[in-house]
Chains A and B, each alone.
Chain A
Amino acid sequence: MEKAATKNRAWKFGDNLNTDEIIPARYNITIVEKELAEHVFCEVYPEFAPNVKAGDVVVGGMNFGCGSSREHAPIAIKGSQVKCVIAGSYARIFYRNAINIGLPILESVEASREIQDGDEIDVDLATGEIRNLTQGKTYLAKPLPKFVLQIVQAGGIVNFLKNNDIEDLM
């Protein structure tokens, strides 16, 4: 448990965070990750975009990403270079869109409730282990299935299919 050096910070959000709160529709004039990431969470957590670091973790509540089917919301979060999103549950189309654009997402009601803003978090995507180094607690989310890891590693399903067949996922 001596991984304190990673300093991956949790950014905490509430329940029913909708796609317009993730990125307001007026910024959806681009699909470039970096450009979208400049405005991600700009109304609900203005400090996020200027301060987030690669490897940080977004922690949401229940029904994360509800609202529109627009793919801009997961793309904007991915563009901020966070390691993953942890939430109690996800809205259906957000869940699919996140996986397909290559944003890792983990589901854990306990972790989503107990992790506090600013806690230091270490996540193993392959096992689903979430370690809260600040509180000294460990949670086990359902690990990402192998096929999801493959899509994430390829940078999304479009990139995956450039070099593979869909059968290679299973």
Chain B
Amino acid sequence: MGTLIEEIFSRKLGRTVQAGEIVLSDVDYIMSHDNTTPLAIKAWREIGKPIKDKNKIVIHFDHAYPAPNLAAAEAQKRIVDFMKAQDIQNFYHQGVCHQVMIEEGYVKPGYVIIGGDSHSNTYGAFGAFGTGFGSTEIGVAWVAGKTWFRVPETILVHIIGATKPGVYAKDVMIHIAGVMGMDGATYRSVEFAGPYIDALPMVERIIFSNMSTEIGAKCGLIAPDQTTIDYLQNHTRAQGPFDWIKPVNPRYERLIEIDASSLEPQVACHPDVDNVKPLAEVAGLPIDEVFIGTCTNGRYEDLEIAASLLKGRKVSRFTRLIVTPASTTIYQKALANGLIQVFMDAGATIGVVGCGACIGRHGGLLAPKERAFTTMNRNFIGRMGSPEAEIYLGSPAAAAATAIEGKIADPRKYLEG
């Protein structure tokens, strides 16, 4: 009985759990990456106890891999030494942690997954409770195999209508961030539901859960349905049976209704994710770098849309376009289907799979006074390098149109038919 998050914890604990309760729960997986694992190792050493279940630990190298400097190389060597000594098997360097977690089958409905990364909310798209933790807690969970949670109250974001051509899930989510604000869902679980979500493929559902972090949410959940199960069976290594977990007579703290059909392309403007404007209001703003990739929009379908605009066209002379597939699997498919050729012909630079330019340590940093248009999830000051640079966020189609013109551009004029 209850909201999706109450249902997840009720099943996990074998008793009815309600929002506001503090529970001690098993976790299914404990995820961390090259940036957050070193401090987790430090906490674990301080506790001085053995790892409870090494199979629950999943470690990714994605933030700065291959190492762009000596400090990163040394940190990664320390992590590798730790993994060898502790015989950690679940180690990946095949792309952004959240995408690889999905591809490799770690994400299933009803699972509880904690991650040393704020966008661990991503797993919510599959009806799993995913949430971001500090590094110390990752080390604590290695020892305990479980951790404490305050079961959150839930805000229902009910989305109706279908988007117009040229408007995508990214535009809808950016609009929601603008409506709710960066602290609009602090502590809360957000459930995304309604006819619009029901009709959406998984790759676009993921955007809502991923960016629920940007409105302060503890998690962003979507109830699994046939679309979810089909995706898990056909596109991931996850093994069934899958738990069709659903809200049952839920009591929501708040209801937000969004009509997707009324939206034009949206842009989150410098310097906050909730500084949202219709793209038309900022069209024409000169752009130095366009970056297509990340755990938000670096999937095959994102690259496919961008390539459809860029095919037979060139990137503007003094704008650099960087395309970074989110994972090796996505890269291979893009290569096999000619998308990489399209990007290269257009003058794009293809980045190494992983987080790339999104974390401002390699793969396309911004100089002072430069302005980027990206498919990322956040545009905090200094995120991509210089604190004097500006970051704008939008859909992969808007990013491709912007690369062609060298200034923020409406993708609809390049869409066929």
Q: Which residues from chain A sit less than 8 Å from chain B, CB to CB?
A: 16, 63, 66, 69-71, 89, 91-93, 95-97, 100-101, 145, 147, 157-158, 161-162, 165-167, 169-170
Question: In the bound complex, do residue A166 and residue B144 qualify as a contact, i.e. CB atoms below 8 Å apart?
Answer: yes
Question: In the bound complex, do residue B136 and residue A101 qualify as a contact, i.e. CB atoms below 8 Å apart?
Answer: yes
Q: 9 additional contacts, CB 8 Å, given A66-B216, A95-B187?
A: A69-B132, A70-B134, A71-B135, A89-B187, A93-B133, A93-B134, A97-B136, A161-B49, A169-B24
Partner of B140, one of A66, A71, A100, A145: A100
Cα distance A159–B19 in the bound complex, in angstroms:
29
Question: In the bound complex, do residue A166 and residue B183 qualify as a contact, i.e. CB atoms below 8 Å apart?
Answer: no
A-B contact pairs, 25 of them (CB 8 A): A16-B183, A66-B186, A71-B134, A89-B186, A91-B186, A91-B216, A92-B187, A92-B216, A93-B118, A93-B134, A96-B137, A97-B134, A97-B136, A100-B134, A100-B140, A145-B22, A157-B136, A158-B136, A161-B140, A162-B48, A162-B49, A165-B144, A166-B24, A166-B140, A166-B144
Q: Which residue of B lies closest to A99 (CB)?
A: B148
Chain B 140-156 against A: per-residue CB contact (8 Å), 1 yes, 0 no?
10011011100000000
Question: Would you call the interface of chain B mostly helix, strand, loop, or mixed?
Answer: mixed
CB distance from B30 to the nearest CB of A (A): 13
For residue B47, CB closer than 8 A to chain A, the reply is yes
B residues within 8 A CB of A97? Answer: 134, 136
Cα distance A16–B47 in the bound complex, in angstroms:
33
Cα distance A170–B186 in the bound complex, in angstroms:
25
Contact flag A96-B144 (CB < 8 Å), given A89-B186, A158-B46, A161-B47:
no
Q: Which of B24, B133, B134, B144 has the most CB of A within 10 A?
A: B134
Q: Which residue of B lies closest to A170 (CB)?
A: B24
Cα distance A91–B183 in the bound complex, in angstroms:
8
CB distance from A24 to the nearest CB of B (A): 13
Question: In the bound complex, do residue A66 and residue B183 qualify as a contact, i.e. CB atoms below 8 Å apart?
Answer: yes
Question: In the bound complex, do residue B47 and residue A162 qualify as a contact, i.e. CB atoms below 8 Å apart?
Answer: yes
A residues within 8 A CB of B48? Answer: 162
For residue B246, CB closer than 8 A to chain A, the reply is no
Question: In the bound complex, do residue A157 and residue B24 qualify as a contact, i.e. CB atoms below 8 Å apart?
Answer: no
Cα distance A91–B134 in the bound complex, in angstroms:
13
Cα distance A170–B24 in the bound complex, in angstroms:
7
Partner of A69, one of B46, B118, B143, B216: B118
Partner of A63, one of B143, B146, B183: B183
Question: In the bound complex, do residue B216 and residue A96 qualify as a contact, i.e. CB atoms below 8 Å apart?
Answer: no
